[in-house]
Amino acid sequence: IKNIAVLTSGGDAPGMNACIRAVIRTGIYNGINMFGVMQGYQGLITNNIIPMDARSVSNIIHLGGTILKTARCLEFKTKEGMQQAYDNLQARDIDALVVIGGDGTFTGAQRFSKEFGVKVIGVPGTIDNDLYGSDFTLGYDTAMNTVIEAIDKIRDTADAHDRLFFIEVMGRDSGCIALRSAVATGAEAVLLPEKQTSLDELITQLESGASTKKTSSIVIVSEGHKAGGAYDIANRVKERFNHYDTKVTILGHLQRGGSPSSFDRILGSRLGFAAVNELLKGNTEQMVGLRGNDVKTTSLDEALNKHSFKLEADLLEMAKVLSI
């Protein structure tokens, strides 16, 4: 391997810049020519590929977002798009890629490797913490801290006004942020994509709090919850539960920004360093992830096909017990 490129794709996640820095510098340290691809797979197709040196990644370890930008690219799913991307890499003699992103990113990378022989290593970068093979994905820890800070603030005003708040958090298919933030903030109830909670059940929970002198409550709604978004659910609850005034807050994309936590800076650095070392060993179609406190590889196949986040039964039970 002589030339390696790195890209970020899909939703951005805090810690991506720390990871890009580690990839570029580990490659350069080992005598490899390093490139950055702008806007994920889009930049591979439009030939937006730039040579990077050690100084190209100075002073970025503390920044959220991604200096390489990111995109969700439909064209890369087509044969023609992939061919164009391959031709652009060939023209620069780039034979390996580090891709930082979530499952959509890995699906593209795996096809690219199988159909065109480009060596690929994936780094799990998504706030959703939903990839098999890594206990934590890059960005999840920072996002959790952001979510908790926001919910704590809402708790103050909910208490001051005696109100019921529905707070919607991210996680299209994964209730990880929702469940763990519910435990960390002492929310009264949590609605998750992985688990049906009926309106009756939710109202019983809220009624029980009201009957034991609770004067405000917080319900966390995961955006992937099957029975609808926070506004929807709040409206339906309002019709049957009128102990407090009801308000809704959607935390939205603020969960994806901000300076990465120490955990995400270190995780991004470790995984970026490991990704390049895997390529130098000749490996491909692997994801580097954290298991226990060790960096381990998992095949992209497994990472994509095994189910990722499983609701922790103890947290589910505990969230209920501790919020009586």
- Find the binder of ligand F6P among 4, 5, 9, 11 (CB under 6 A): 11
Q: Tell me the closest approach of the beta carbon of residue 211 to ligand F6P, in angstroms.
A: 35
Question: Which one of 53, 87, 95, 128 is the catalytic residue?
Answer: 128
Tokens representing residue 171 in the block: 């996680």
Of the candidates 323, 190, 165, 173, the one whose C-alpha atom is nearest the C-alpha of residue 250 is: 165
Using CB under 6 A as the binding criterion, the count of chain residues that bind ligand F6P stands at 9
Instruction: Give the residue ranges of DSSP H helices in 15-102.
Output: 16-29, 41-46, 79-91
Residue with tokens 């708790």, as numbered in its chain: 155
Q: Tell me the closest approach of the beta carbon of residue 139 to ligand F6P, in angstroms.
A: 8
Of the candidates 103, 107, 106, 39, the one whose C-alpha atom is nearest the C-alpha of residue 73 is: 39
144 binds ligand F6P (CB under 6 A): no
124 binds ligand F6P (CB under 6 A): no
Provide the 3-class DSSP secondary structure of residue 103: helix
**Residue 288: how many CB atoms within 10 A of its CB?**
25
Provide the 3-class DSSP secondary structure of residue 32: coil
Q: Tell me the closest approach of the beta carbon of residue 314 to ligand F6P, in angstroms.
A: 24
Tokens representing residue 242 in the block: 């009128």
Q: Which is nearer to ligand F6P, 161 or 253 (CB)?
A: 253
Q: Which is nearer to ligand F6P, 11 or 27 (CB)?
A: 11
Q: Look up 93 and say whether it is catalytic.
A: no
Cβ–Cβ under 8 Å, residues 251 and 133: no
Annotated binding residues for Mg(2+), written as ranges, equal 103
Give the residues lining the site for ligand F6P (CB under 6 A). 11, 126-128, 170-172, 223, 256
> Which residues are part of a known binding site?
11, 21-25, 72-73, 102-105, 126-128, 155, 163, 170-172, 186-188, 214-216, 223, 247, 253-256
